[in-house]
Chains A and B, each alone.
Chain A
Amino acid sequence: MATTAEPTTALAQPKMVNLTIEGRPVSVPEGMSILEAGKRAGILIPHYCYHPGLSIAGNCRMCLVEVEKAPKLAPSCATAVAEGQVVHIYTEKALEARKGVLEMLLINHPLDCPICDKSGECELQDFTYQEGPAESRLRDPKRFNPVEDFGGDVLYTTSRCILCTRCVRFMDELAQDTVLNVSERGDRALIGKFEGKELTHAWAGNVIDLCPVGALLSKDSLNKARSWELDHAPSICPGCSQGCNISIDTRDNTVVRLRPRPNENVNKYFMCDVGRLDYRWINRQDRVEVPLMRRGEAHVAADWDIAIPATAALLDGKRVFVAASPNLSNEALYLLSRLIRANGGAGAFTVAVGPEAPLPGVDDLALRAERAANGNGADLLGFRRAASPVEGMAAGDVLIVAEADASQISPEQLALASAIIVIGTTLPETLRMASIVLPIANYAEEEGTFTNLRGRVQRFFQAKAAPGMARPSWWVAGDILAALGKGDAYYLASEVFSAMAADVPAFAGMSYDALGMRGLVVSGGAQ
């Protein structure tokens, strides 16, 4: 196997501890909390303040469990496993204690679930349904605090807050920009900030996902959808070369929000606000929906059965130059590279850059300067990084503009091409003279993989339907190759990927099954 496995560390194997949780024997590394060990045993111990990406606060007291021979109930987030320990989660004593916590959390909670964005994905709801009290014994007026704009994308609905302090810890420990605090004490306590200092850190939006209740909400997605109306597709953020794992949440085929999806090797539990809020383009309406062929001064719609052979005819025997986008999938780029190999020619791409914005508390996690998902993949597949996506094009080449930024191609450069074929989601004004326009799906509408800056190849899945007759980019490229008699047509993205793995050494030994949901690092690691 040429594939590089997970980066191996020189650490010795940790000592394993054997214990029993709810009658299930588990063996976990020494030092692990009972709460985490519970997950290994298949049991989620209810909790609020605990989050695996943050320090232990132990303040919500929701994760109390009974440990045999211990005098008191133990907070499972803050109690380490011990050899021979016997843990009970659902004894009457433990259940009563957690029910008591839930009652206390709810006495001043507004119970306004019908108008709360968190409803349906709220841990306060979930655990209350699971083991909370059926009714409150509060006979006195509830506490009320006004809603506060925390700046950035964040709204603080104070009355819903359970003071778990996940947000405070995130900003303090991971963003290392302590703009949030716990203010006051006793039941007057609330999450506070300093006048004029807003939640504007590039990673601040994560406090919204970290909030286990509806206290911190996204202004961007406020009141857009009830959580149960959303469909979720696992994907990879295309905003930079970090390759943060995300979930694309759609409602009626429209993307309404992006949220981070945990991947220990890439982004832990987080994504930056730039990536999070840059999704409206996915829903844009000015798409090319049918293949177009030039007839005189205008384009006419054509069926794929016409457009593909016509494309092959234009390309047959010609040198080809591919102006690629570094946001195309490995699969699309691979098949385009095959086209270059078959006909002779070259390919190039440009990468937009921006300021890097790290999340300082997490090793090797940043909004990267390279603002494209697959620059590394394009490198590995033989495309050249250049100042212009057509740099190196020879006069008389057939130019394929494959989703490259057309604004970076000058009319003089375009004039060098013997013909222009656009493989894209849209038809930019400057490419109106293209002979053929082949509509493709955007990344949220197809399946594929990106290779991040550390060489990790990660899968993304289809989140919404492509408009009209648009097809996945790899499908279009594969059909052109087949029409030229230079390859087989592909019916699945996974087949394209397997062909690439067999062909390109960096990807050797990989398959979609092997990649799974965490990805694998290319042979030779990062470029």
Chain B
Amino acid sequence: MGYPFPSHAGETPVLSKYFGDKDAISLAGFRKRGGYDGLQKALSMTPAEIVDVVKASGLRGRGGAGFPTGIKWSFMKPGDGKPHYLCCNADESEPGTFKDREIMRWTPHALVEGCAIGAYAIGAETAYIYIRGEFTEPLVRMRDAVREAYDAGILGKNAMGTGKRIDIVIHKGAGAYICGEETAMMNSIEGRRGNPRIKPPFPAVSGVFAQPTTINNVETLAAVPHIIVRGAEWYKGLCLSSPKSTGSKLFSVCGNIAKPGNYEVTLGFSFKDFLYDLCGGPLPGRTFKAVIPGGISVPIQTMEEAEATKMDYEGFVEQGSMLGSGGVIVFDDQQNMVKQIARAARFFAHESCAQCTQCREGTAWTTKIMERIRDGEGTHEDLDTLFSIADNMTGKTICVLSDSCAVPVVSGINKFRSEFEALIKKPTFHPVTAAVA
């Protein structure tokens, strides 16, 4: 089932099957639909067996980086005598992305089940689900689901009667995009400012509370029970293009489009069909101008690029962008790209944690210049400066927030330069005007 629009025949609803189905929210309703069969089965397997199945399925992280989940889990060394932790990244803060929100609203138990399997597979007895503070409704749903699961003996000291301990703790964020970065999230759970950490050490060695930790996205973990029940081969078979991209994937669609919402397709699906067929194409009387396909941190695509894209990890890269978190932002001909890129830069300036020089200063500086160009006070020299700042902000900081700010600016100027130039009336900078400003 699609949400908020009815499911389209082109979709492959695995995770989104019960979106909009109020009966699937409760434990009883979820169980009726096959819920917790995956956990039951997983608890009868060894952790290593689970890791192998997930490895074989080809499941890759759905949060943005696309790292193979089974390999990530295999970094955890069971029996090392240390407490292990699973952190579920439900901070979903990437603008354009709202898929995890719907998983938690409609199928909270699917996430509880996924977390429980993940925790068991990596030898963790505690899983923290970090949910952004703005997600008030998903927070209520998840808290209710966890409570139900404890009451039913699914979680706790004797999970599903197997004698294994699995605890899940819901941790509420408080308004910080960067806490979606895994090391920042660990700091936030520890009660610190959400500053990303330098790596190494990697989380599997020293993560939350300095213990071995794995961080997985909501959608990734929610996919795991299906893989356990239906097998790695089935999941691997969900593939329309690159064999390195398997399974179904939720794409959140927003912006100037007829039917915004969440759509689940098999990886490798045609982006053109997706936009024009599944999502209903542009609003009446308008045409598409550009797409940011994977959340605001990935490069902007022209429609030419977008329409040639196969929707998987490799396909988006081939067409000048990235799959990212699967948050598709569509811009139509009514939008001024300069204004929107300036707005994107402002977002990053607002969210920079302030640690790294290039990010703290660069995001704010980029915003000042972008807004000046937007307001007709820009110069051609500013475009060169923006490129240069973007270069300084790329690949040089602790995390990639700074890189992410540079991405829409660079891809925006490269692909929509005429819109910038149309706003630039002054050929060069005149120092006196700045002093007055």
Q: Is there a contact between chains A and B in the complex with CB atoms less than 8 Å apart?
A: yes
By a beta-carbon cutoff of 8 Å, the part of chain A in contact with chain B is 56-62, 64, 72-73, 75, 78, 97, 100-101, 103-105, 107-108, 137-141, 162-163, 182, 184-189
CB of A350, distance to nearest CB on chain B (Å): 49
Tell me whether B360 is interfacial, beta carbon within 8 Å.
Answer: yes
CB-defined contacts of B369 to chain A, threshold 8 Å: 139-140
With A59-B357, A61-B397, A104-B358 given, name 9 new contacts (CB 8 A).
A61-B356, A73-B395, A73-B396, A75-B198, A78-B198, A100-B358, A104-B357, A104-B365, A137-B388
The 8 lowest CB-CB distance pairs between A and B, nearest first, are A100-B392, A189-B354, A187-B364, A104-B361, A59-B355, A186-B352, A140-B368, A58-B198
Which residues of B193-245 have CB atoms within 8 Å of chain A's CB atoms? Answer: 193, 198
- 27 interchain pairs (CB within 8 A)? A56-B198, A57-B355, A58-B398, A61-B357, A75-B198, A78-B198, A100-B392, A104-B360, A104-B361, A104-B362, A104-B365, A107-B365, A139-B379, A139-B382, A140-B372, A141-B434, A141-B437, A162-B357, A163-B357, A182-B354, A185-B176, A185-B354, A186-B349, A186-B351, A186-B354, A186-B364, A187-B364
Which residues of B374-423 have CB atoms within 8 Å of chain A's CB atoms? Answer: 379, 381-382, 385, 388-389, 391-392, 395-398
B435, closest chain A residue (CB):
A141
By a beta-carbon cutoff of 8 Å, the part of chain B in contact with chain A is 176, 193, 198, 349-358, 360-365, 368-369, 372, 379, 381-382, 385, 388-389, 391-392, 395-398, 429, 434, 437
Q: Contacts A75-B198, A107-B365, A184-B354; is A163 near B396 (CB within 8 Å)?
A: no
CB of A132, distance to nearest CB on chain B (Å): 13
CB-defined contacts of B361 to chain A, threshold 8 Å: 104-105, 107-108, 187
Q: Contacts A140-B368, A140-B369, A186-B349; is A72 near B360 (CB within 8 Å)?
A: no
CB-defined contacts of A64 to chain B, threshold 8 Å: 396
CA distance A108 to B365 in the complex (A): 10
CB of A183, distance to nearest CB on chain B (Å): 9
B385, closest chain A residue (CB):
A137
The reply to whether A182 and B356 contact each other, CB–CB distance below 8 Å, is: no
CA distance A186 to B382 in the complex (A): 22
CA distance A187 to B368 in the complex (A): 12
CA distance A72 to B397 in the complex (A): 10
CB-defined contacts of B353 to chain A, threshold 8 Å: 185-186
CA distance A162 to B361 in the complex (A): 10
DSSP majority for the A interface? loop
CB-defined contacts of A182 to chain B, threshold 8 Å: 193, 354
CB of A215, distance to nearest CB on chain B (Å): 14
The reply to whether B434 and A139 contact each other, CB–CB distance below 8 Å, is: yes
Interface centre among B354, B358, B398 (most CB of A within 10 A): B354
The reply to whether A187 and B363 contact each other, CB–CB distance below 8 Å, is: yes
CA distance A186 to B360 in the complex (A): 5
The reply to whether B392 and A101 contact each other, CB–CB distance below 8 Å, is: yes
CB of B363, distance to nearest CB on chain A (Å): 7
CB-defined contacts of B381 to chain A, threshold 8 Å: 137
CB-defined contacts of A138 to chain B, threshold 8 Å: 365
CA distance A398 to B368 in the complex (A): 81
CB-defined contacts of B434 to chain A, threshold 8 Å: 139-141
The reply to whether B382 and A187 contact each other, CB–CB distance below 8 Å, is: no
B436, closest chain A residue (CB):
A141
The reply to whether B365 and A72 contact each other, CB–CB distance below 8 Å, is: no
CB of B132, distance to nearest CB on chain A (Å): 16
CB of A113, distance to nearest CB on chain B (Å): 19
CA distance A61 to B437 in the complex (A): 31
CA distance A75 to B385 in the complex (A): 24
Q: Contacts A58-B198, A107-B361, A107-B365; is A185 near B352 (CB within 8 Å)?
A: yes
CB-defined contacts of A101 to chain B, threshold 8 Å: 357-358, 392, 396
The reply to whether B349 and A187 contact each other, CB–CB distance below 8 Å, is: yes
B349, closest chain A residue (CB):
A186
CB of A70, distance to nearest CB on chain B (Å): 11
CA distance A108 to B379 in the complex (A): 21
CB-defined contacts of B350 to chain A, threshold 8 Å: 186
The reply to whether A61 and B365 contact each other, CB–CB distance below 8 Å, is: no
The reply to whether B396 and A97 contact each other, CB–CB distance below 8 Å, is: yes
The reply to whether B358 and A163 contact each other, CB–CB distance below 8 Å, is: no
CA distance A64 to B352 in the complex (A): 20
CB-defined contacts of A103 to chain B, threshold 8 Å: 392
CB-defined contacts of A162 to chain B, threshold 8 Å: 357
A189, closest chain B residue (CB):
B354
CA distance A69 to B353 in the complex (A): 30
The reply to whether A72 and B396 contact each other, CB–CB distance below 8 Å, is: yes
B382, closest chain A residue (CB):
A139
CB-defined contacts of A57 to chain B, threshold 8 Å: 355
CA distance A189 to B176 in the complex (A): 14
The reply to whether B358 and A187 contact each other, CB–CB distance below 8 Å, is: no
B176, closest chain A residue (CB):
A185
B379, closest chain A residue (CB):
A139
CB-defined contacts of B354 to chain A, threshold 8 Å: 163, 182, 184-189
Interface centre among B357, B358, B382, B397 (most CB of A within 10 A): B357
* Complex partner residue of B360 from A75, A100, A140, A163, CB under 8 angstroms: A163
A105, closest chain B residue (CB):
B357
B433, closest chain A residue (CB):
A139
The reply to whether B392 and A104 contact each other, CB–CB distance below 8 Å, is: yes
Q: Contacts A100-B358, A186-B349, A187-B363; is A61 near B198 (CB within 8 Å)?
A: no
CB of B186, distance to nearest CB on chain A (Å): 16
B354, closest chain A residue (CB):
A189
CB of B122, distance to nearest CB on chain A (Å): 26
CB-defined contacts of B362 to chain A, threshold 8 Å: 104
A78, closest chain B residue (CB):
B198
CA distance A162 to B395 in the complex (A): 20
CB-defined contacts of B357 to chain A, threshold 8 Å: 59-62, 101, 104-105, 162-163
Interface centre among B352, B361, B437 (most CB of A within 10 A): B361
CA distance A100 to B358 in the complex (A): 8
CB of A184, distance to nearest CB on chain B (Å): 7
Interface centre among A101, A138, A186, A188 (most CB of B within 10 A): A186
Q: Contacts A101-B357, A184-B354; is A139 near B363 (CB within 8 Å)?
A: no
CB-defined contacts of B385 to chain A, threshold 8 Å: 137
CA distance A186 to B362 in the complex (A): 10
CA distance A138 to B396 in the complex (A): 21
CB-defined contacts of A97 to chain B, threshold 8 Å: 392, 396
B362, closest chain A residue (CB):
A104
Interface centre among A60, A64, A72, A187 (most CB of B within 10 A): A187
CB-defined contacts of B351 to chain A, threshold 8 Å: 185-186
CA distance A433 to B374 in the complex (A): 87
CA distance A75 to B397 in the complex (A): 9
CB-defined contacts of B391 to chain A, threshold 8 Å: 100
CA distance A188 to B352 in the complex (A): 10
CA distance A105 to B357 in the complex (A): 7
A184, closest chain B residue (CB):
B354
CB-defined contacts of A73 to chain B, threshold 8 Å: 395-396
CB of B367, distance to nearest CB on chain A (Å): 9
CB-defined contacts of A188 to chain B, threshold 8 Å: 354
